[in-house]
Chain A
Amino acid sequence: MKLAWKYVQFYRLRSMVFVGILSLTFALPFISEKISQSLVDNVNRRTDSTPVLITTRSGKIRQTLNSLFFVGNHDEHELPYGKVEEISEESGLMIPMLIRHTTKQGPLVATEIDYFYFRDSEVAEGNLFAIPGDIVIGSLVAESFGVKIGDQVKLQSNDIYDITKSAPLKLTVTGILAPTGSPDDHALFTSLKTIWILEGFLHSHADQDPYKEESEEGATTYSKSLPIKQEITEDNLLDFHYHSSIEELPVTHMVFQGDSHKDEVLLMDAVNLDGDLMAFRPRDAMEGVVNIILRVEQFIKTYHLFWSLCTLMMIAMIFGLIIQYRKEEFSILISLGASKNLLVLNITQLIAIYTGLATVFAVIWFYSVNYLLKAYLP
């Protein structure tokens, strides 16, 4: 074993390349299966726990990815907060969501407190948001960005081309959610009111108002661009006010969990009759995606089988070449007193060392991918 190990040590670069190729060959089928299985599990777990999704009419997959996984482009479609209740009065839990903003730390999800009960989400530290300006962050947001309770997070509107938009609002982190292994871990949550404030539907005016004008008749008027307060505090909380009815304020999605299956079916029927809205089961919408993932996995497995065969043939050829290359060395060793068995043992040990190292690295690859999947899969 010592002679074989000396060989590996001396030719460390070529040994590393060899071990690298071998370890990937060993690890890839397990890694690809793990990735696809995690993706499928992740999608199924999320869609299974979301009975009905109500959105404006557009691609169901995109809407599901938007609302459940917080990924994809956020379109401009929106539905009025009170619209669904106008259409259907089936009994169940209706959770409005407004997802069209992102922060440096992750997607910003505006919703109601019920969302956390619906998802069985608990705060690990602090409290859920209570007043506009409070923000609760997912466990991975806290971990990745080192955000703590009491820290202030700046949120900006996505409309970067709008030069008249309000300045960034400072929001205060009041709670950190316990890890859930779901897309919630990557997101930041706030109340709908906060986002409505952010979007200018609710606002408060700065104390020193340079845009205030007095007419000749003594009436007070304001210019079109009102300076807006940069931070929501307990002192200025009551200053924020509506300029329209709350029923008309926008959300992007509604999640519905009926008291019974019948309630959900009736709601879907009622909503789908409306020309602007649609209601569907996310599981059905994502079934095609899941099938594609499974097919890709099957393809990768088949592809990997051929690749493994090619790699093994290549490795056999490399060992053949190594033996050929070392023929003179072996003949010297035999002249010195080595038996042929010893040389066969030497080659076997070399293969065992490479295979052993490759197996160790394959396990490391696998667990690294597993860790990354757990940490970063939305």
Chain B
Amino acid sequence: MIEVRQLSFSYGTKRILDIDALEIPTGKIVLIRGPSGSGKTTLLMLLRGILQPSSGAIHVLGHDLTAMNDRQRRTLRLKEIGSIFQQPALLPYLTVKENLCINQFLGDKSFPDPTDHTLVDELGVKPLLKRYPSELSGGEIQRVSLIRPFIHRPKLIIADEPTNHLDSDHRAYFVNLLKDYQNEYNTSLIVSHDESLIPHCDLVLNFKEISP
């Protein structure tokens, strides 16, 4: 469950985001759309606890983010949220396996070994585990970055323009992955301009640019 009340975020005097109330029930795939500058990405950063709101309350997975300290928010991010980025975002100096369990390097010692994960097998990533990203093809990189957020079975997936770098095959696979994930686990929050995702989402939120 994600709950936002009277949320406001500003950079200096510039208001970036205003939300009176938003509730996203557990187990839903939610698409957030809107023009550039409407605060979509800012909302994702607030929900991850990277930014602190200027005012208002945010509850994510039962945690009051505004009441948590930086360390607690970081732990929440590390253990309970999976992030998908616009770009593949694999670290070039880590092997595929190390990239899949990057959270271990960031302090999550309980992060599972990705070697025997179902997705690693299903997407044919197993033979790639010891390779570096520079040794992979474009398709292989897409597959690795797709499964990375799912390895530790987080309760919430937050994706920012996730289909930007995907070809049609991988886009379809991504949608299936989200649905499987939804059935098995929990909530997905997607910011995207990709209209092909609309039919697969339970909820579509349209953001508008804030008038000055």
Give residues in A with beta carbon < 8 Å to B: 2-3, 6-7, 9-11, 328-329, 332-339, 342
Contact = CB atoms under 8 A, between A and B. Distances in A.
The 7 tightest CB contacts between A and B, nearest first, are A337-B78, A10-B93, A337-B77, A338-B106, A332-B89, A3-B105, A7-B93
Interface of B: 45, 48, 50, 70-71, 74-75, 77-79, 81, 83, 85, 87, 89, 91-94, 98, 102-103, 105-108, 132
Contacts of B94: 6, 10
A342 B70 CA distance: 12
B98 A337 contact: no
A335 B83 contact: yes
A13 to B, nearest CB: 13
A67 B70 CA distance: 77
Contacts of A329: 91
Nearest to B87: A328
A337 B74 CA distance: 5
A335 B98 contact: no
State the majority secondary structure of interface residues on A: helix
Contacts of B70: 339
- Most chain B beta-carbon neighbours within 10 Å: one of A335, A336, A342: A336
A332 B85 contact: yes
A256 to B, nearest CB: 70
B93 A337 contact: no
B107 A342 contact: yes
B88 to A, nearest CB: 10
Contacts, number: 50
Contacts of A332: 85, 89, 91
A337 B106 CA distance: 7
A139 B36 CA distance: 81
Nearest to A10: B93
Nearest to B160: A335
A334 B45 CA distance: 10
Given A6-B93, A10-B132, A11-B93, A338 B98 contact: no
22 contacts: A3-B105, A7-B93, A10-B92, A10-B93, A11-B93, A328-B87, A332-B85, A333-B102, A335-B50, A335-B77, A335-B85, A336-B78, A336-B83, A337-B81, A337-B103, A337-B106, A337-B107, A338-B74, A338-B107, A339-B70, A339-B74, A342-B107
Contact of A334 (B50, B75, B132): B50
Given A10-B92, A334-B50, A339 B103 contact: no
Nearest to A339: B74
